[in-house]
């Protein structure tokens, strides 16, 4: 399944599907953009980051895409698993090592 539009608060997919979570950011001057995953009752956990001079970065089962023209960030999760169920936050980091500016989260629900 895929999300449509810039931001949806919830996304429901079937196990094995690919998921796409979108985020719009505001500060064109931010140096880094980061995705965090937050499971119920836990603190956010770093997934992947991308520097502003890149447009794509891949990790293990995840890909982050950055479109600076429209200030849009997306996280793609391949072969989504039930363990991927969580709230996903995008964040801006104006400068490495400084405080993060978090966006609204998207709740991903994966059904088997």
Partner 1 sequence: DARVTQTPRDKVTEMGQEVTMRCQPILGHNTVFWYRQTMMQGLELLAYFRNRAPLDDSGMPKDRFSAEMPDATLATLKIQPSEPRDSAVYFCASGFLFGNEQFFGPGTRLTVL
Residue ranges in contact with partner 1 by CB under 8 A: 32, 34, 41-46, 49, 89, 93, 96-105
Return the number of the residue (25 or 102) whose C-beta is nearest partner 1.
102
Instruction: Give the HSE-up count for residue 13: Cα atoms under 13 Å, Cβ half-sphere.
Output: 26
CA distance 16 to 112: 8
* Min dist. Cβ of residue 10 to partner 1 (A): 14
* Min dist. Cβ of residue 104 to partner 1 (A): 6
3-state helix, strand, coil split of the chain in percent (to 5) is 5, 50, 45
Return the number of the residue (30 or 80) whose C-beta is nearest partner 1.
30
């Amino acid at each position: 399944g895929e999300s449509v539009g810039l931001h949806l608060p919830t996304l429901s997919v079937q196990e094995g599907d690919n998921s796409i979570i979108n985020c719009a950011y505001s500060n064109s001057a931010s140096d880094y953009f980061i995705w965090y995953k937050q499971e119920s009752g836990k603190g956010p956990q770093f997934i992947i980051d991308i520097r502003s001079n890149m447009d794509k970065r891949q990790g293990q089962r995840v890909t982050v895409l950055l479109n600076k023209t429209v200030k849009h960030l997306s996280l793609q999760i391949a072969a989504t698993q039930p363990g991927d169920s969580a709230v996903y936050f995008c964040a801006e980091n104006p400068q490495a090592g400084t405080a993060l500016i978090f966006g609204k989260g998207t709740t991903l629900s994966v059904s088997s």
